[in-house]
Structure formats: C-alpha cells, structure tokens
C-alpha cells in the first residue's frame, strides 16, 4: 500500500473477510500487503460503525474568504511582499477586519494568496528607500531625458567590480543516507582584483584587471588608454558625439579626478553622464559582471590558480550580441 493514501475498498473488504474467518492480524497483513495496525484498525472500525469506507463523514468544505478580508490580504502583501502568514493573521485582528471567531486560518490565507490573488513565492529584489525621494526621482527623469537624445550606438557604460581569488566553494553535495557530506575546500584568500570595464551595445570597448582596489588615478589611466582604442576598422571606440555613463562612486567625483576626466573626454568630443544614485539597473556593466563571475565559478581551479587570466578570458567571452541583450535589459533598446 502507498503511504499517505486510504486503503482501497476492495482491500478493506478482503481484510474483513479474512478477519471473519478467524485469520490473525499478522496473516492478514502478509496476505493483503498492509500493516498489522492497519488491519486491526479497519476491523475495529467496522465493528464500531458497520462501515468499510475510509471516511465516516463528508469532507469539510473549504473556508471561503470574503471580499473585504481578501482586499486587506492583498494590501498587506503588496505593501510588504515578505510578510508572513501569521503576521497577516495578526494584522487582520489588529485592524479589526476580523474577530477571533472568524479570522481565517493560515491555510486559508495561503490559499487566498496563491489561488485568488494568483501570487507565487519568489526571491525579493531590494529597492533602497533613498531612491524614492523627490530629488532622486527628478534626477532619474532628467537622466532619462538626457540619454534619450543619444543613439544606442553612441552610449558607453563604465563600471568597476572586485574579484576575490577563491575557488567558489559549493554549498551542497551528496553522501550516504545518515552520513554528512564532507569535502576539502579552499577558503577565499586576501588577494583581491578589480575589473575596469567599458562596454557598449556593440561589445566590450576596453577593459583591464588590476591588483587591489581601484582609485582616481587608475580611473584616469584607464580612460587615457580607452580614448585611444580603435575597433577592427580603425575607428575610435569613443567617437565624437558619444557619451559615457558611470555611477556615483566616491572617487569618481574626487577632487581633480572629475575635472581631469571631464577635460580628457571633452577633448575627444565625448560627454560624461553620471547615472542616478541607487539605480544600478541603468548600467549595462552590471549584467556583464554577473556573467564574468559566473564564468569564474564554472572554472574553479583555473580561476584560483590564474585569477587575472581567467577574468580576462571571461571578459573575452562576452559577445557583441550579449552586450546588446544587456543594453535591452537595462531599457536602452
């Protein structure tokens, strides 16, 4: 018999027939394939009720959620997607939506969320509260209006990301039942690298990997090289009329750094635009970094032994098609 399911009626009748013939519960169990306790309970229930059905009474109907309660549940979930079922139940009582006699159970609340509101459980994407201030919202609108004046092929994104020399230790594995899964793994070392990346919708324009954290001098050196980079046809990657978008990292606005960077780019006819604070989704370098670190995790030994080379190899694997897809995901196409 399959556990968790009621014993079939024909099996129950066979158990009763054997019991009435004086067969022991142990022999009944071996003959019908049920346990001794199951055979005993079926026979005792027949003697007590005269019924062989699995259920003495009809199943209870599901509790229905009234519209007012459903509206409050939807309001709680939309305002705070991570709220627990028991917290919703308590809020229904605290807000006098329900009384202790008619407040829905946790199962009913869960059913209302999944069946009536059509919501599913998923990972939460955090949004900084500071990004919702009127000044930041106005900054974002101005940024969108400014960038919309440029053709997609004129836009370039710049950003930095740290890479730690590690093996990318895995958290799950297999072992025999009842025994722990033990594996010898390396821990992350203190060797940290920084990836400087300049990308556009046509591919990676320029990149480098430096040891340790970046700073204003490294930023200026990077763009001093970037303005002299050309494509396969000899055309400059940063052409007249283009723009470079970067975030508001502290040393991007440092004394002399911003002035010299603006002067360097303006000499080439390139405009520097800072993206709105707390809005990393406007920078196509972010999905590029996710791809790079995914590549490093998939080649653990190589990434641990030759971190700089593995990082450069991952950057080289970013195709123009991927960059165009990332630009579309960031809303520029």
Model confidence band, residue 51 (pLDDT cutoffs 50, 70, 90): confident
What is the reported pLDDT for 215?
A: 94
Query: Average pLDDT of the chain?
Result: 88
* pLDDT greater than 70 at residue 320: yes
Instruction: Judge contact between 39 and 66, C-beta under 8 A.
Output: no
HEC profile of 280-308: HHHCCHHHHHHHHHHHHHHCHHHHHHCHH
d(CA 262, CA 258) in angstroms, rounded, equals: 6
* Comparison of pLDDT for 218 and 45, the residue scoring more: 218
pLDDT digits 0-9 by tens, 32-42 = 888 888 888 88
* pLDDT greater than 80 at residue 186: no
d(CA 330, CA 177) in angstroms, rounded, equals: 46
For residues 45-58, average pLDDT: 72
* Comparison of pLDDT for 138 and 183, the residue scoring more: 138
Tokens linked to 186: 């390396």
For helices 257-266 and 216-226, give the axis angle rounded to 10 degrees. 10
Task: Look at residues 207, 208, 220, 216 and name the one whose alpha carbon lies nearest to residue 261.
Answer: 220
Model confidence band, residue 266 (pLDDT cutoffs 50, 70, 90): very high
pLDDT digits 0-9 by tens, 222-242 = 999 999 999 888 899 999 999
* Comparison of pLDDT for 66 and 283, the residue scoring more: 283
What is the reported pLDDT for 175?
A: 74
* pLDDT greater than 60 at residue 60: no
For residues 267-290, average pLDDT: 95
pLDDT digits 0-9 by tens, 81-117 = 999 999 999 999 999 999 998 999 999 999 999 988 9
The helix/strand count (H/E) of the chain reads as 13, 5
Model confidence band, residue 148 (pLDDT cutoffs 50, 70, 90): very high
For residues 147-162, average pLDDT: 95
* Comparison of pLDDT for 1 and 49, the residue scoring more: 49
What is the reported pLDDT for 187?
A: 58
d(CA 183, CA 169) in angstroms, rounded, equals: 10
Instruction: Judge contact between 81 and 69, C-beta under 8 A.
Output: no
Helix then strand then coil, in percent of the chain rounded to 5, is 45, 10, 40
d(CA 88, CA 105) in angstroms, rounded, equals: 10
* pLDDT greater than 90 at residue 304: no
> Percent of the chain having pLDDT more than 70?
91
Please give the model's pTM, rounded to 2 decimal places. 0.66
What is the reported pLDDT for 113?
A: 92
Which residues are CB-neighbours of 36 under 8 A, at least 6 positions away? 25, 26, 28, 29
What is the reported pLDDT for 167?
A: 54
């Amino acid at each position: 018999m399959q556990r968790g399911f009621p014993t079939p009626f024909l099996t129950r009748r066979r158990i009763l027939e054997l019991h009435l013939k004086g067969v022991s519960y142990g022999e009944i169990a071996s003959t019908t394939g049920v346990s001794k306790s199951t055979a005993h309970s079926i026979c005792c229930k027949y003697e007590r009720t005269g019924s062989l059905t699995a259920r003495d009474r009809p199943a209870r109907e599901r509790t229905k959620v009234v519209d007012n309660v459903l509206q409050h549940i939807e309001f709680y979930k939309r305002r705070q997607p991570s709220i627990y079922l028991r917290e919703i139940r308590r809020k229904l009582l605290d807000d006098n939506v329900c009384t202790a006699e008619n407040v829905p159970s946790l199962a009913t609340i869960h059913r209302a969320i999944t069946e009536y509101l059509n919501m599913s459980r998923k990972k939460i994407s955090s949004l900084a509260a500071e990004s919702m201030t009127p000044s930041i919202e106005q900054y974002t609108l101005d940024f969108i209006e400014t960038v919309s004046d440029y053709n997609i092929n004129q836009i370039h994104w710049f950003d930095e990301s740290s890479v730690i020399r590690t093996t990318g230790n895995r958290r799950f594995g297999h072992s025999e039942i009842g025994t722990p899964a033990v594996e010898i793994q390396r821990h992350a070392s203190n060797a940290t690298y920084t990836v400087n990346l300049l990308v556009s919708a046509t591919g990676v324009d320029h990149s480098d990997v430096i040891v340790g954290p970046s700073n204003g001098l490294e930023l200026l050196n990077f763009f001093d090289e970037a303005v002299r980079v050309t494509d396969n046809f000899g055309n400059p990657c940063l052409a007249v009329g283009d723009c470079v978008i970067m975030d508001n990292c502290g040393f991007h606005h440092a004394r002399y750094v911003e002035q010299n960077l603006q002067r360097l780019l303006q000499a080439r006819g390139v405009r520097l635009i800072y993206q709105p604070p707390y809005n990393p989704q406007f920078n196509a370098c972010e999905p590029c970094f996710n791809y790079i670190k995914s590549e490093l995790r998939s080649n653990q030994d190589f990434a641990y032994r030759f971190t700089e080379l593995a990082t450069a190899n991952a950057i080289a694997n970013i195709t123009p098609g991927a960059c165009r897809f990332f630009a579309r995901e960031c809303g520029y196409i």
